[in-house]
Structure formats: structure tokens, C-alpha cells
Structure 1
């Protein structure tokens, strides 16, 4: 979308809102910015902040990480609530070898856009570290939402192989494929 078309779309949105709605939007944004500043200050004491982003619902989030030679976590905290030492969403992974990150678990609420934000940061981290693959398994415990998982991984350009008989699957992402 070009800047001009984005501006026109935003202008149409604002034309349809009355003054009170616009003021409420501004107040909400101001509150989120204040909360972001406070959350970032608290998070930075323990974790490495790697970015800020916006969800599909325009909620601001702080994205941060913790990694060592064995494991990697990409975590997220939304700016609608105060950071209290616990992430709102997390992708937990380990290094299988010098070329591969293995996703062990993804935890947090669904359909908020948190997973996509964290996955994009994980893929960017892999590229920066010259990691050739991100892999993972779809386990039997995930079978009640396997369609949603397949959709999520395919949206993020993973190759997904499902074994219906054993209720299992494998995912593989390569940065330059």
C-alpha cells in the first residue's frame, strides 16, 4: 500500500468517527505509549529488548529475548497492561546445532497477532545469526487445533508435513527458500 492510499484510507476512517471517538483513540494511544515506556524500563532490567510492534488490533507490544548457547526465547508483552515479570506470549526454542533452531513450544493466547510478531522476530534472529533452518514438531497434544497450526506455519513460509495416522507433524523453515 502506498503512503497516499494509506493516508486516504486513514482519512476515510477519521471522517467516519466523531470527535469523541477520535479523542478516545488519542487517549488510548497516549496511555499505551506511557505503559510502553514503563514496561520497557522494567523489561530491560532482565531481558534484551529487540523491538516494539503493533498487533493486527493496533495494540502496541514490546518484544524481547533471552538466549545463550543452548536456548532462545522470543517473548512479548502488550502495552495495555503493566509488565509484572511474566510475558504475555513466548516462542521457546533450542539450538539443535550451528545451523538449526528447534521450536519446542509456543505459549500464549491465540488470534491476537502475538504469534506472528514473535515468529517474525525469530526468523529475523535466525537470519542475523546465519541459521539455516528453523524446525519443530506438531505433537499429538496439538491435534485439536492442528488446522490452525498448519495455517500459521504455512503463512510464515514453513514447509509442513502432517502424518494423520500418527497425529504428528514436522515443520521446516529455510530463510532463502
Structure 2
């Protein structure tokens, strides 16, 4: 009894600080355990999908762990990011492309679209190296694509992005549309 009175009287603040410290530590452990459980469930859901292969993982600028998933079927090539936030079928940041081969011409890969849910968080820069690496395993000679008038308001950002990944970027003289090209060596 006397011992508890002494602790309560003389060390109450220290004991409360210690209790709060360990309470925060326990909360952090629970949060991390929940994140790991979510990622494991995400991996299981990806692996259930046909032709989906996890080819990497990274952390974007929002400090969010993302899984890089490759989906290739016939001539369609997709690279997508999955995460706790990007798990619905329509909101994966992704590169969608097609392998094109016609008689008498060099085969190439055409970027059909790049969709990112959030700008300036690094998702496109996470996807692009995986996409280029895959393209280099094919017999395609280059990657190409068009910069649509629909995206005219984003041309500066698009130009910066593609040049950062070593694409050649060309615009029409009025800068209303353009094209991109990456030589696969």
C-alpha cells in the first residue's frame, strides 16, 4: 500500500508518460500490422486475376506502398499500380499499350493511354521504367504514342515526363498535338 502511494505521489507524471509512450507504440504496431494484412490481401486478389503478374513494388511521393502489376494478353500490354487506395478496377494508375506488327514494317509498341488518378505523386515515373524494361524484351524497335489535343492543357507536364524517361517529344508548329518516340536498343 505504501509503495503504491509513493509511486502515485512522486512518480505519477513519469508513470503516465511511460504508459502513453507504450500506448502509442502499441497503436503503431497495430497500424503497421493492418497495413501488412491489407497488402497481403491485395497480393492475393492480384494473383487471382488472369495474366496479372506482380513485377515490382515501390513507394510514391505520398509515402504509399504500391505494387507494379503487368498484364499482357495477345497484343495488349498494361502496367498498373495497386495499393490500398488503388484497388478498384477503374482507378489503377496505368500505362496501356499495344504491340503492333505489320508485314514489311518494323514492329513497335504504341502507348494508347496513360491514366493517373493523382498528379505529381510519382506514379507514372514508377510505372514507366517497368514498361520500358518489358518493351526491351520484345522484338519491337521503338515505343511511340500521340499527344492528343484533348490533353493540350497538360502538354508542359507531359513533355517533362516523357523527356525525363528519354523519349523524343515533338509538337506540331501550333503546339496543338504531338508525338513521342523511344528507340529500344
Aligned position for 1:12: none
Q: Contact 1:35/1:82 (CA < 8 Å) preserved in 2?
A: no
Q: Contact 2:71/2:77 (CA < 8 Å) preserved in 1?
A: yes
Shift of 1:20: 9.5
Q: Which is further off, 87-96 or 147-156?
A: 87-96
| Equivalent residue in structure 2 for 1:36, among 34, 39, 47 | 39
Q: Contact 2:148/2:178 (CA < 8 Å) preserved in 1?
A: yes
Aligned pairs for 1:15-94 (under 5 A) are: 29-46=32-49, 47-79=52-84, 81=85, 83-94=87-98
Q: Contact 1:54/1:61 (CA < 8 Å) preserved in 2?
A: yes
User: SS in structure 2 opposite 1:48?
Assistant: strand
Distance 1:21 1:148 in 2: 41
How many residues are paired up? 158
- CA deviations 1:21-59 (Å, max 9, x no partner) are 998877655443322211011011102222211113321
| Equivalent residue in structure 1 for 2:109, among 101, 113, 135 | 101
Aligned position for 1:121: 130
Q: Contact 2:86/2:92 (CA < 8 Å) preserved in 1?
A: no
The answer to whether residue 131 in structure 2 is matched with residue 131 in structure 1 is: no
The answer to whether residue 170 in structure 2 is matched with residue 161 in structure 1 is: yes
User: SS in structure 2 opposite 1:40?
Assistant: helix
Greater Rg over alpha carbons, structure:
2
Distance 1:68 1:126 in 2: 14
Aligned position for 1:8: none
Structure 2: where are the runs of 5+ without partners? 1-20
Provide the aligned C-alpha RMSD in A: 2.6
Q: Contact 1:43/1:83 (CA < 8 Å) preserved in 2?
A: no
TM-score normalised over the length of structure 1:
0.76
TM-score normalised over the length of structure 2:
0.73
